[in-house]
Chain A
């Protein structure tokens, strides 16, 4: 098991190095000149030169990359060009905001989608199944920002049941208020992910329901309900858990549209600002950190899957 984890971590690190290179090169070739924006169109060439030198943009790319990575590794994420502030001070509160949104969304999405999938599987071929399948897939084809707008118009503007902004106005919002503000965006995300997660759950549950071991359980004299609970769910939810874990980074790392629509100061919003402002240090680090989140959660999903499945766990141990 330990060997498996170490190997996976090694691979993850390698992936991150590649990601960092790609991110760095992409942001370097991005069109637009931030110096012009900051110093103004009328600045002298000398001023540009001094500014570039000061920020280190005159150095070869390799050196710039080295400095950036070295900084990331030692905890110095660089300085934002547009805000003239350490990147970490900008990203930390945003990351925390994004994490809050992700947690609330996940707590809403995972149980509802899993229950939906189980209900569909248990009523295979019947109306409940068809309604859940058609409803789930129809909802999923509409992008989250469209849902966001619809939800705002219905629940925020027309009914006024939920706030239109995901971020409380008050100075020190309490937990209830924070969660309350995050419900509408979470529902938008639920609409997008429900179809996907419930379909995977449904497939897993059906496979387990049709399995020989389910037959054994029923022929042992277990009631269908007990047999499903004790024998089906554990096997059926394995793939679901992995799928949900792979959706976490999507939720935590870049809900640009949702954050924009709900005016939420999360990671996605910062990212978008950085792109518009050509704020390389901020952009590079933000994109890179998104990659870190994705890879870490993929790693967690893999390990979780191995731990839950004795067959893989054993292969891994041998």
Chain B
């Protein structure tokens, strides 16, 4: 006998009306989720993941409508039920957890009242509801729930806010929980905690989960079955481990190949990309939705719509060539650069940038907060220095200090190629300014919307290299072409470009002054993995060609590992570990690095014990005594150095050649504990 699925989508089609024209967003999506099962939907942005999730909640934007198919909740079609019935369903049976927990909570109502509201909707008296809200917070493992009840959303950290949202979602004892990118935007350690919590709650409650994420690692670790969406169509579906180990649709294969997973490094591996761009909203297809970007596509693919074919068991793929997908040719764009004589006599690895004893103190309401504490680092010609650490660890502030956007405290010195730099940008000469440039996370905000792409870059060339206008424009176009921005796009404004192209323009702008160092502050965090791979390849090419050095900031440890030669791990404004990428990632690890690495959901499916960091990041205005990590350190207890850890701050010492650590526990002991 088969049980009735909790949720079933049958041939669901959803369209958005844009300027009077219906544009199809979901194209006949069918899948089902059994009671207690976790089903993951993956795909890049714009493929219809969130639309599917919100359709299941019967919540579409004002211009969205279900044009065909059905949504069955416990066997009952909910496409045509009225608003009252929808509200009743949301009150008692289906809940949702959102991507951005901080904005999902009402800023002017205490969180306790917001949770209690769910109980009240189900007929509980207001005093009882408040009590139950407290219990709900206890269930999501929030410390001191009675106090949290009285807080407002802005007084919660991201992880806490997401716990509150989860508590609110579970308050109605739902039979289906829809989670839309629940950990996107959270730090790796917080993400791991939230995912642990969801896993535990699922074990306890048996709730069915629809889990939406662009992060394949997260999906792999959270879901029983997975569906892959592309251009609004489900192209592959199967049990998680089976699908990840033998992906059978070229899109899935491509996605997995784009990811800089464990062990890959720029020196030996070039990332694969998916050529082309996703189709625009509402494109009509004669054949396979992926044909235009697929290296296996033939005439049949372009003219006939493939059916789902069974690979093995419940593993299905919508592809004529599913048997060949796993071994399809790589689609990387190989670029050969003629070795250039750039004028540098330096060898790769010779010291280019030296920062010593950088500190930064901010004034916060009259009290002094030391956000950067005595940081010294070096970076060689043609090398990449990766900065990693949780948010608030000081990554971006260090970049700002180096760039001169904010001056360091007395004693801090930044030396570039043997020349001491002025503390602030306004005191640096044009050559020094051009020598160090930055690429930001969000190219939307970094590029002037009113200027054409050429103008954005040529202006920088004019200012930084003192070129004449015509020479600057010529140089700008050369730079843009070098970044693979097509000449037909040189005169458009940024708004007409995709995220990846905008970032290429931003990189071209950064290279306008022929820089020696480019700071990349989360340059690929806002991009899809296939675009990320292309941008990372581009950066590596530029580095090889011009010996440019990068300071690379990212919360994605896989990306940092791939692109960096050296890594500095930061905690509370201090460097806790510094060494070659190889050393830092292979161990022995600093306890903080160990915890950070273990919290990353592994895409290979290998299970690894998570080393949790207990408690929250302390405020830099009131750092713990002794080693700043000691209250959270996973290796303090039982190490035999507890007293020392709590009373004295360790120095950054060289534990192996070229590998520095700030820890009282000797490296041999750490190595032993970590095996």
Whether A219 lies near B152 (C-beta < 8 A) is no
Give the distance in Å from the alpha carbon of A219 to the alpha carbon of B114 in the complex. 13
Residues from chain A with a CB closer than 8 A to the CB of B59 are 215, 218-219
Are A220 and B106 CB-contacts (below 8 A) given A212-B98, A310-B152, A314-B155? no
B127-154 interface (Cβ within 8 A of A): 152, 154
Q: Is B108 an interface residue (CB 8 A)?
A: yes
Whether B87 lies near A221 (C-beta < 8 A) is yes
Report the stretch among B22-30, B88-96, B240-248, B405-413 that lies at the interface: B88-96
Q: Which of A212, A218, A234 contacts B103 (CB 8 A)?
A: A212
Q: Which of B87, B107, B152 contacts A222 (CB 8 A)?
A: B87
Q: Is A8 an interface residue (CB 8 A)?
A: no
Whether B154 lies near A311 (C-beta < 8 A) is yes
Residues from chain B with a CB closer than 8 A to the CB of A238 are 108
Best-buried of A211, A212, A235 by chain B (most CB within 10 Å): A212
Residues from chain A with a CB closer than 8 A to the CB of B83 are 223-224
Whether B87 lies near A223 (C-beta < 8 A) is yes
Q: Is B66 an interface residue (CB 8 A)?
A: no
Nearest residue, chain B, Cβ from A310: B152
Q: Which of B89, B91, B107, B365 contacts A213 (CB 8 A)?
A: B107
User: What mask results when residues 420 to 431 of chain B are scored 1 for a CB within 8 Å of chain A, else 0?
Assistant: 000000000000
Whether A310 lies near B103 (C-beta < 8 A) is no
Nearest residue, chain A, Cβ from B58: A219
Q: Which of B92, B105, B109, B152 contacts A221 (CB 8 A)?
A: B92
Q: Is B118 an interface residue (CB 8 A)?
A: yes
Residues from chain A with a CB closer than 8 A to the CB of B89 are 221
Distance (Å) between the CB of B178 and the closest chain A CB?
9
Nearest residue, chain A, Cβ from B96: A219
Q: Is A37 an interface residue (CB 8 A)?
A: no
Residues from chain B with a CB closer than 8 A to the CB of A308 are 108
Give the distance in Å from the alpha carbon of A112 to the alpha carbon of B379 in the complex. 65
Are A211 and B152 CB-contacts (below 8 A) given A219-B90, A220-B91? no
Give the distance in Å from the alpha carbon of A211 to the alpha carbon of B84 in the complex. 22
Q: Is A171 an interface residue (CB 8 A)?
A: no
User: What mask results when residues 208 to 251 of chain A are scored 1 for a CB within 8 Å of chain B, else 0?
Assistant: 00011101111111111000001100110010000000000000
Whether B109 lies near A234 (C-beta < 8 A) is yes
Question: How many B residues touch the partner, as a band?
Answer: 20 to 34
Give the distance in Å from the alpha carbon of A213 to the alpha carbon of B172 in the complex. 18
Q: Is B471 an interface residue (CB 8 A)?
A: no
Q: Is A96 an interface residue (CB 8 A)?
A: no
Distance (Å) between the CB of A123 and the closest chain B CB?
12
Best-buried of A213, A221, A235, A308 by chain B (most CB within 10 Å): A221
Are A221 and B90 CB-contacts (below 8 A) given A234-B109, A310-B152? yes
Nearest residue, chain A, Cβ from B153: A213
Whether A235 lies near B106 (C-beta < 8 A) is yes
Residues from chain B with a CB closer than 8 A to the CB of A314 are 152, 154-155
Residues from chain A with a CB closer than 8 A to the CB of B107 are 213, 235, 309-311
Are A318 and B365 CB-contacts (below 8 A) given A221-B88, A221-B91, A234-B108? yes
Q: Is B168 an interface residue (CB 8 A)?
A: yes
Residues from chain B with a CB closer than 8 A to the CB of A220 are 90-91, 95, 117-118, 121, 168, 172
Whether A309 lies near B108 (C-beta < 8 A) is yes
Residues from chain A with a CB closer than 8 A to the CB of B117 are 220, 222, 230
Whether A231 lies near B106 (C-beta < 8 A) is yes
Are A216 and B104 CB-contacts (below 8 A) given A221-B92, A234-B109, A314-B152? yes
Whether A216 lies near B154 (C-beta < 8 A) is no
Residues from chain B with a CB closer than 8 A to the CB of A213 are 103-107
Q: Is B184 an interface residue (CB 8 A)?
A: no
Residues from chain A with a CB closer than 8 A to the CB of B87 are 221-223
Nearest residue, chain A, Cβ from B99: A212
Residues from chain B with a CB closer than 8 A to the CB of A230 are 109, 117
Nearest residue, chain A, Cβ from B103: A212
Distance (Å) between the CB of A131 and the closest chain B CB?
20
Distance (Å) between the CB of A303 and the closest chain B CB?
17
Give the distance in Å from the alpha carbon of A235 to the alpha carbon of B95 in the complex. 24
Whether A219 lies near B57 (C-beta < 8 A) is yes
Nearest residue, chain B, Cβ from A311: B154
B171-189 interface (Cβ within 8 A of A): 172
Whether A231 lies near B91 (C-beta < 8 A) is no
Residues from chain A with a CB closer than 8 A to the CB of B121 are 220-222
Nearest residue, chain B, Cβ from A124: B62
Whether A211 lies near B103 (C-beta < 8 A) is yes
Are A310 and B108 CB-contacts (below 8 A) given A219-B90, A221-B87, A318-B365? yes
B158-199 interface (Cβ within 8 A of A): 165, 168, 172
A35-59 interface (Cβ within 8 A of B): none
Nearest residue, chain B, Cβ from A214: B106
Distance (Å) between the CB of A69 and the closest chain B CB?
34
Are A310 and B172 CB-contacts (below 8 A) given A212-B104, A219-B96, A220-B118? no
Residues from chain B with a CB closer than 8 A to the CB of A215 are 59, 98, 104
Give the distance in Å from the alpha carbon of A235 to the alpha carbon of B106 in the complex. 9
Distance (Å) between the CB of B545 and the closest chain A CB?
44
Nearest residue, chain B, Cβ from A125: B62
Residues from chain B with a CB closer than 8 A to the CB of A222 are 87, 117, 121
Distance (Å) between the CB of A232 and the closest chain B CB?
9
Q: Is B4 an interface residue (CB 8 A)?
A: no
Whether A212 lies near B91 (C-beta < 8 A) is no
Nearest residue, chain B, Cβ from A208: B106
Q: Is B45 an interface residue (CB 8 A)?
A: no
Give the distance in Å from the alpha carbon of A311 to the alpha carbon of B87 in the complex. 30
Q: Is B356 an interface residue (CB 8 A)?
A: no
Residues from chain A with a CB closer than 8 A to the CB of B152 are 310-311, 314
Residues from chain B with a CB closer than 8 A to the CB of A309 are 107-108
Whether B108 lies near A216 (C-beta < 8 A) is no
A129-172 interface (Cβ within 8 A of B): none
Give the distance in Å from the alpha carbon of A315 to the alpha carbon of B118 in the complex. 29
Residues from chain B with a CB closer than 8 A to the CB of A217 are 106
Q: Is B32 an interface residue (CB 8 A)?
A: no
Nearest residue, chain B, Cβ from A211: B103
Distance (Å) between the CB of A2 and the closest chain B CB?
14
Extra inter-chain contacts (20) besides given A216-B105, A220-B91, CB under 8 Å:
A213-B103, A213-B105, A215-B98, A215-B104, A216-B98, A216-B104, A216-B106, A216-B168, A217-B106, A219-B57, A219-B59, A220-B90, A221-B90, A221-B91, A223-B87, A224-B83, A308-B108, A309-B108, A311-B107, A314-B152
Q: Report 18 cross-chain contacts, Cβ distance below 8 Å, ordered by A residue.
A: A212-B100, A215-B104, A216-B98, A216-B165, A220-B90, A220-B95, A220-B118, A221-B88, A221-B90, A221-B121, A222-B87, A231-B106, A235-B106, A235-B108, A308-B108, A310-B107, A310-B152, A318-B365
* Those 6 A-B pairs whose CB atoms lie nearest each other, nearest first: A221-B91, A221-B90, A212-B103, A213-B106, A310-B152, A212-B104
